[in-house]
Structure formats: structure tokens, C-alpha cells
A and B are shown apart, each in its own frame.
Chain A
Amino acid sequence: MLSGRQYLVRDKRLAGFVGALLILLPAGQAGWYRRTTYPFVPWDMYGSSTPPQTYQEYLIRDDAGPVYHYPFGHVAFSSPRAFMRRLDQLVRGCRCTAGDPLVDAVVEALVSIHRDRTGRTITQFKVYDVQIATGSRESGPRTLLYIWRASAELRHDQP
């Protein structure tokens, strides 16, 4: 900041910009409800001493046969994990393991995107909650949170 004072003195527009940032950024940082303050949000990264002890797996089965992770990079190139979090919120919000109209609609959108990108049709989409065991190479216990199966109509609707 100090080394930039000469620019701030010369250019009032620049000074106004920096001044606004100096108010808005700490305000966003201190804001309780970050949904209202974006793009001024808390810059948190590994700031919690108690990180989550579970993570989610989104496993699919398609024409290729074996079960594998849904490639969320196809949907959200820059923030696939943030998109996965949204799906997790929807699955937890429905309090059911299958048949929720909203979750099914999102999964069907993901299925159609996958078909466009790979040419393969997903027949099964499962969401698991997996516990971590720190420092272990093995994954912990898994709990099935949600399952979606393609209807016969969708299965036959292949490109």
C-alpha cells in the first residue's frame, strides 16, 4: 500500500477504487451471510481446525460397464468440487434415497451432458457418503445416500 501512495495521489479514480476495495473486502470477509456479498466473500482455505470427516462419491455405470466417478469436470471446468457440493446439498435436503423430482432432474441433466460429451448413456447414478480414516490408504465405511436408475425409455433413447 505504502509504495503505491504516489499513484493514489495522482489518480483519484484509482484511489477511489482502492478505497472502495478497502471497505468492501473486509466487509465481505466479516459478513455472516456470504450469499449476499459475492464477490466480496471470506477468503477461507483450510482455516478450520476440524475439517469434515466424510466426503461424497458420485459413482456411475454407463455403456462402458464398470462403475466409475462421474466426471464433474465436464460440467464445471473451474470448480467441479463446488458443483459436487451443490448436488450433495440437494441429496441431503430431500431426505430420501431415491425418487426426488429435483434431484432426479439434476441427475438427468448430468446424464444428458455426459451423453453429449462421451456418447455413452448412464444407466445408474449413486451417491455415497464415505468416512475418512486419517493417514490410511483404505477408504472408510460408505453409506448410500441416493440412487438413480435410468428408466427404460431413457435407456433406449441413445444417440
Chain B
Amino acid sequence: MTSHRGWQRGTRQHASAIRMVVLGIWMVIVANTPYESYARLPTDVIAGRGLGRLLFGGDALKSFFFSYPVLTTLKWSAIVGCLLAMVYPNRLRWLTPVACVCVLVLDLITKSVNGITNHAQLGPLFVLVVFALFGGRRYLPIIGLRARTDTLRMPVHWGQDPGGTIDSGYASVVWLAGLMLIIPYTYIALNRLLEGGMEVFLGNALPDSITLNSRLHAAYAFTVFLGWIQIPWLAAFLKVGFLVTTLFELCSAGVLFSQRFRVIWLAVIGSFHFITLFSMNIFFWENLMLIVVIFGWGIWNMDRTPSRITAAYT
């Protein structure tokens, strides 16, 4: 962590940071969702979706999963599992897949009481799946805690580089986690262009969406854009920005190839997430945290000569 090599992309430290962030994200989501209250909802409201149809298909299964003891057990298993997986990434490496299963079931429960199946939290879910499937066999240091000690204890077969920072094993996990975020942005842009066409950007779709979402009740309650979209040049500017953002989303894969593009992409997509917060009261804080830790990691090192493996990664 103290060496600048720790801030290079695709290192153990980078993989560990992503893992900590995604586990932290799920811990916050699960801890703040009153799953135990769902036991009070009538079971007729529950409609399993996708994998959830297998779990909540029959009345008996539905009653079992939506009972207070099961919901409470799942919730606390996920919270404790995420916490311990963060603190003991190596000693309890079997815990990440367990926490992932608990989180997946809880996410299916959330989706089954919702009226729409949207893509919210799918990015963090897929990144967690990556670490559950591919993070287990690799040694991971704890960011900021015992990193030095862990490096000394590292068994030889866990890393090819005794310097402890660069290992293609970690680079592949980081690459895959990045891919999990690139895919949603690319698909969102593709969907928007194919389904809505240019009319989405030229017509009143954006002002209508801003008006609707500013008025719809939300915890953030920003309404400042209701006034701004009445100013013609500002409304036109927002539509241009919407098109530019969509094009950047479409070209998200470029972050794997070019560091300079990655900087611009981060600025555009980061701004986009904050603009949707103030204009529509929609804030994908989970995605924002993940793009910062996955694609923003060590971005200030772009002038340094990259190592052979890091160069291959970028």
C-alpha cells in the first residue's frame, strides 16, 4: 500500500479494494433493508422473478422464505458473512461464496416484492459473483489493515511476485470485475439507441423524464431541474449531454484499452450519475463506488512506466 506499485491496476491490492467495496456495498444494502418486515406482507403480493420463481414458486416455499425467522437469519448471515469476508479474506475465503448466495437470495426477495424487474444492483451482484467464483484461490491482503503482515505470511504458491504487488492472477479477476460493469453500461446505451432511437434525444423524452422523476417522491427530493428545463438553451444542452453520455456508455469497452479514454469516461459517467441524482432523484451510488475503485484506481500513475503485466492489462 505504501509503495506506488500498490496503486497499479490489476494488483492484489487493487483486487482486494474492489472486493472490500463490493462486500461493503452489499452490507449497507442488506443492513438498511427491513427484510424481516416482509414477513408481514400477504404472500399473494410476492411474485418471484427469474431464479426467484424457483425459490418462491410454490405456496409452501413462499411461506418458508417469507417467514420472520428465515428472513432474519438470511439478513444477519449476509451481514456477518460480508463483514467477516472483508476482515478475513484468506482465513475465511470460503465465506465469500456463502455471503454471495445469501445476498443473491435476498436480492431475489427484494425483486419479488417489487413491481418492476430493473437492473438496479445487478452490477454489484455480478461483481460479487466474480469474487465468489474466482477470488477464493488467490491470496488477498486486507486494505489498510495488516497488509504488511499478510505480505510476510503469504505462501509461495499464492503469488508469483515476492514483491507482493503484481500477479496476473489478480489482474484477471480485476479485468473480469471491470467487464461486469462495462456490460451494463454498454447494454443500457444499446437498448436506448435501438428502442428509442434519436427521438429519445431530440424529443421531449428527457424533459418529461426529469419532470416525472423530480415530482415522484424520493428520499433526495431535488427539484432544481424543474426550473432549469424551462430554459430552452439549457434544455437543449441537457439533451446534447444525454446523447454524449449514451455514446460514452456505448463505448465503455474503451476503458480496457486506453488510459486516457478511461479518464474521460470516468469524468463523463461520474458526472452523469450526479446529474441523475439532482435531476431525477436517482442515484446509483453502488455503481459510482465500483467504477471509481475499478477504473479510477491508480489513475494518477498514468505517466509512470507500466510493468509488463500491467501494460497487458491496460
Contacts and interface: CB of A to CB of B under 8 A. Distances in A.
Q: Do A and B come from one complex?
A: yes
Interface stretch (B146-154, B159-167, B197-205): B197-205
A105 B312 CA distance: 58
A1 B175 CA distance: 9
A77 B33 contact: yes
Interface residues of A, number: 77
B183 interface: yes
Nearest to B198: A49
A85 interface: yes
A1 B207 CA distance: 36
B257 A36 contact: no
Contacts of A45: 119, 188, 191-192
A132 B183 contact: no
A13 interface: yes
Nearest to A116: B37
Interface string B159-196: 00000000010011001100100011001101110011
A41 interface: yes
Interface string B242-269: 1000000000010011000000000000
B200 A47 contact: yes
A97 interface: no
B119 A135 contact: no
Interface of B: 29, 32-34, 37, 40-42, 44-45, 47, 49-53, 107-108, 110-111, 113-122, 125-126, 130, 133-134, 168, 171-172, 175-176, 179, 183-184, 187-188, 190-192, 195-197, 199-200, 203-209, 211-212, 215-219, 223, 226-227, 229-230, 235, 242, 253, 256-257, 312-314
12 contacts: A2-B256, A4-B172, A4-B179, A14-B176, A41-B50, A41-B117, A45-B119, A49-B203, A70-B217, A82-B114, A87-B115, A112-B40
Interface of A: 1-4, 6-7, 10-11, 13-14, 17-18, 21, 25, 29, 34-53, 55-58, 69-90, 102, 105-106, 109, 112-113, 116-117, 130, 132-137, 139
